[in-house]
Amino acid sequence: MAVPNMVFSDVETFLDSHPELFEDYLNRKGNYRMVEKWLKNHQASKSPAAPAPAPAPAPAPAPAPAPAPSPSEPREEKSNACKDSWASKCDGLQRRASQKELRKTFARSKAINVNRTYDEHVNSRAQEPLTSMRRRALLRKASSLPPTTAHILSALLESRVNIPQYPSTAVDFKYYLKEHNEREFFLELVKDISNDLDLTSLSYKILVFVCIMVDADRCSLFLVEGTGNKKTLVSKFFDVHAGTTVLPSMNSDEVQVPWGKGIIGYVAEHGETVNIPDAYQDRRFSDEIDKLTGYKTKSLLCMPIRNSDGEIIGVAQAINKSSSGALFTEDDEKVLQMYLPFCGIAISNAQLFAASRKEYDRSRALLEVVNDLFEEQTDLEKIVRKIMHRAQTLLKCERCSVQLLEDIESPVVKFTKSFELLSPKCSADTESSFKDSMEKSSYSDWLINNSIAELVASTGLPVNISDAYQDPRFDAEADQFSDFHIRSVLCVPIWNSNHQIIGVAQVLNRLDGKPFYDADQRLFEAFVIFCGLGINNTIMYDQVKKSWAKQSVALDVLSYHATCSKTEVDKFKAANIPLVCELGIDKLSFDDFSLDVDAMITAALRMFMELGMVQKFKIDYETLCRWLLTVRKNYRMVLYHNWRHAFNVCQCMFAMLTTAGFQETLTEVEILALIVGCVCHDLDHRGTNNAFQAKTGSALALLYGTSATLEHHHFNHAVMILQSEGHNIFSNLSSTEYSDLMQLLKQSILATDLTLYFENRNTFFELVSNGEYNWNVKAHRDMCRSMMMTACDLGAVTKPWEISRKVAELVTSEFFEQGDRERSELKLTPSAIFDRNRKDELPGLQLGWIDGICSPLYETLVKLNPKLQPMLDMIKANRSNWEELNKKRQRGQSISESASPCSGDSAEAGGCSVAKTGSAPCCSGNADGAPSKPVS
């Protein structure tokens, strides 16, 4: 009685548990053929025999297999041979695994990657997972490259890209399936190519399987390459037979068939199946491949392969039935018609995968180019060599060259630098002959003067020439002269970041002999974008290096000429320094014009000695003399902001410290910072204010910004002098004292910016007026020192009238020169204080300056220190004089307005003369409402 839903594994498990029943059954039902087959199988397998006998094919006698379709005797012998061969190689298929064995197999499948590449002979190394093998190989490859992030990352990414493979079964087993179960046979062939994404392995499998299906002696597979009118049929595997056990060498030359030529070209062009009993009797047949391979084609079956969209992507060709004299039948055509659509899908998938891998490789190459650009930006030749090597590897060309323009602004194309790289795959003879031609042609070979590169550089358009000798733009004579034969040229422009052409890059002759395709051109253009950035950055770096060298030389020359001579130093070092009382520098009413330029140096030396700075800070006297002389030399010869103004500000500070008694309140470091700050507070002044620097966008404004531009420059210039050899008067200070002193010095110089004065003065005025000012509070001391710097900078307004008026004339003359430059250079109308045409308005502006800026400051300082009262008294006296001048101007203006227009002597002696003879201008605010720096 038949047991429903009986599973073979259950029966096998039962027999394994009852070996006596199995032995009894074998004794009763076994025959000689079965025993012989068992002996042959166990003799073929080199493993030791199992303790139990081999299992029977089935519990009950199985019916004999159906006879093969082919009636010929040789075919039957071949089938039997195939069966025996299959039985000898595939003993694992003789029995069904038990449940225990199935579990072991499943566990092993989890531990071992079964997606192996196609290989008929699996060796012991194949037991190792391929992913780990590939990953180790790729990491070994990466380790041979520079240890950069890009290389390691690309290796790890590539190691994750697995090509899924279906484990192929033996060819003999396929013959067995064909003889016994055609459905399983067809399914086996489809499965074997379904997951193979390696186009090389897939093409080989398809040829072998077609041979088996139609019993062909040999087969060839041609795939379509190119687009449009450039289509060709290319076969890297042809005349493959079913007995081939290894893949053909990839180094063999491929066979190319023109589109529409021969039977293969006809089938590809028209999409028809061609079945020819005698190939040489068909006019479409071309015997070129037979001549090439030495094989005689008799019968032939050729059929197109289409993809899922119905487009022809290849042609399969079966040649000569294995049975001598037999022809390909309609059944063979039907079998191929059923099988080739699956092949088309598999080929399309493999081509898509190959294209994606190619794009991945190209993207990785671009990533490595970017990495090269970041690694090397200091040497132009090195980076261009790297770029050419990458391009040569990426496009697989014989030669790559880069040519740079001499002048990117010039309309005349002239190359100044050329770099070229020859592929190592080219022959040594070609390389040596090329070098010889380079030596003969010197510097004027086709690399520099070829018309194609000049055309690309002038038009900015790429040139892609598939056949150089057929293009009129190519110079064949230069090619023959250089002894380097050019077949194809791809030349593209190199752009910089400003979209200017800086050169051209070109590649010559693909290694496979094909022309450069559109995809190659697009890749090369993208590649050259990065090249342009790298070359441009390297050129800019080289220009910066040259500019830095020029600047270094210029600074060295300027520092030599900007420092004082040894003769001058020796002169003042040996000179007698007058006393303070002899110089009169301790008076608040000191005459700013009483000393000449040399006397001002001796007076400055006396100030340092009188304040005890030389002794306290151990300032070398020769260094002090050299520093003062160099500071004097670094003041420009402008009308007001010159060395005399710097000395006068320093004298005013000295008088406030000594006569007014601030020396008793401030620390010695603060006093030194104030004196040095006064001497250096207008170093290298250009005779223009901060607003002018901002309007003109000067180098100072670009360097320091628009806030306290000149003051920052004065401080930095002072630091530069101090850092010059033999000029550091602070060299004997401790590190703490030096750090504190430099901070105080910077605060002192920046305090002369009136913008900072307006920010702090209200707070300072309120503290003093309310009696809340405290010398022990650091912020209060900082504000007081800043106010003292401003008071000394504006100190000319506190001097006797004649001195104050003379200073005002100098200030106004300097302002007028700035106004003239604003009118001529900037095309602007200057404000009143800078306008030479409105100088008669200045007495009134000076009154506003004194009332709004000067008087409140000195009144507050007097409240803080009553000894400064003489300064305030002098301001009031000067104000009265400016007011009188302003009244005279107003009276003259009113007379001029009431009288008729000037005519005759009386008119000229009246209002017009007053208008013409306005007093010397002085100081006032600017047109924007913010006060300028007039008397300072």
| Residue type for position 177 | L
| Distance, CA of 696 to CA of 558 (rounded, Å) | 25
- pLDDT at residue 17 tops 70: yes
| Distance, CA of 391 to CA of 660 (rounded, Å) | 79
- pLDDT at residue 141 tops 50: no
Average pLDDT on 175-187 reads 74
Reported as a single tens digit per residue, the pLDDT across 626-671 is 999 999 999 999 999 999 999 999 999 999 999 999 999 999 999 9
Please give the pLDDT value at position 4.
52
| 63 confidence band (pLDDT: 50, 70, 90) | very low
The residue that leads in pLDDT, 243 or 507, is 507
Residues 6+ apart with CB under 8 A from 473: 451, 452, 455, 463, 465
User: Catalytic residue at 641?
Assistant: yes
Distances 747 to 607, 691, 763, 767 between C-alpha atoms, Å: 21, 21, 17, 20
Which tokens go with 198? 């390696």
| Distance, CA of 600 to CA of 575 (rounded, Å) | 13
Average pLDDT on 692-697 reads 91
Per the listing, tokens 């989890």 go with: 110
Which tokens go with 222? 């041609």
Average pLDDT on 34-50 reads 61
| Residue pair 201/221 in contact by the 8 Å Cβ criterion | no
- pLDDT at residue 715 tops 90: yes
Reported as a single tens digit per residue, the pLDDT across 458-498 is 888 888 888 877 887 777 666 666 666 788 888 989 888 78
- pLDDT at residue 736 tops 60: yes
Average pLDDT on 3-29 reads 75
Q: Mean pLDDT in the chain?
A: 76
| 602 confidence band (pLDDT: 50, 70, 90) | very high
Average pLDDT on 508-530 reads 83
The residue that leads in pLDDT, 363 or 306, is 306
User: Which has the minimum average pLDDT: 137-141, 192-196, 652-656, 929-933?
Assistant: 929-933
| Distance, CA of 125 to CA of 128 (rounded, Å) | 6
Average pLDDT on 207-236 reads 81
Average pLDDT on 607-628 reads 95
- Residue from 151, 641, 681, 712 carrying the catalytic annotation: 641
Which tokens go with 531? 């090249």
Residues 6+ apart with CB under 8 A from 865: 660, 661, 662
Containing H/E element for 374?
helix 330-375
Which tokens go with 158? 């590539």
Highest mean pLDDT among 161-165, 390-394, 434-438: 390-394
- pLDDT at residue 246 tops 60: no
Average pLDDT on 58-76 reads 40
- pLDDT at residue 180 tops 80: no
- pLDDT at residue 509 tops 90: no
| 869 confidence band (pLDDT: 50, 70, 90) | very high
The residue that leads in pLDDT, 477 or 433, is 477
Please give the pLDDT value at position 482.
63
User: Which has the minimum average pLDDT: 81-95, 268-282, 316-330, 868-882?
Assistant: 81-95
Please give the pLDDT value at position 874.
95
- pLDDT at residue 537 tops 70: yes
Percentage of the chain exceeding pLDDT 90: 30
| Residue pair 505/401 in contact by the 8 Å Cβ criterion | yes
| 41 confidence band (pLDDT: 50, 70, 90) | confident
Residues 6+ apart with CB under 8 A from 782: 747
Please give the pLDDT value at position 241.
60
CA 372 vs. chain centroid, Å, equals 9
- H-assigned helices in 611-660: 613-616, 621-633, 643-658
Please give the pLDDT value at position 899.
61
The residue that leads in pLDDT, 416 or 101, is 416
- pLDDT at residue 824 tops 60: yes
| Residue type for position 319 | I
In the 3-class helix/strand/coil scheme, how is 755-810 assigned residue by residue? HHHHHHHHHHHHHHHCCCCCCCCHHHHHHHHHHHHHHHHCHHHHCCHHHHHHHHHH
- pLDDT at residue 431 tops 50: no
The residue that leads in pLDDT, 718 or 450, is 718
Q: How far apart are the first and last CA of the chain?
A: 127
Reported as a single tens digit per residue, the pLDDT across 785-795 is 999 999 999 99
Rg for the chain, CA atoms, rounded: 50
Average pLDDT on 306-310 reads 85
Please give the pLDDT value at position 20.
79
Reported as a single tens digit per residue, the pLDDT across 666-692 is 999 999 999 999 999 999 999 999 999
Angle at 770 between CA 765 and CA 776, to 5 degrees: 80
- List, in sequence order, every residue forming a beta bridge with 256; answer none if it has no partner: 234
Q: What is the largest CA-CA distance in the chain?
A: 162
CA 522 vs. chain centroid, Å, equals 20
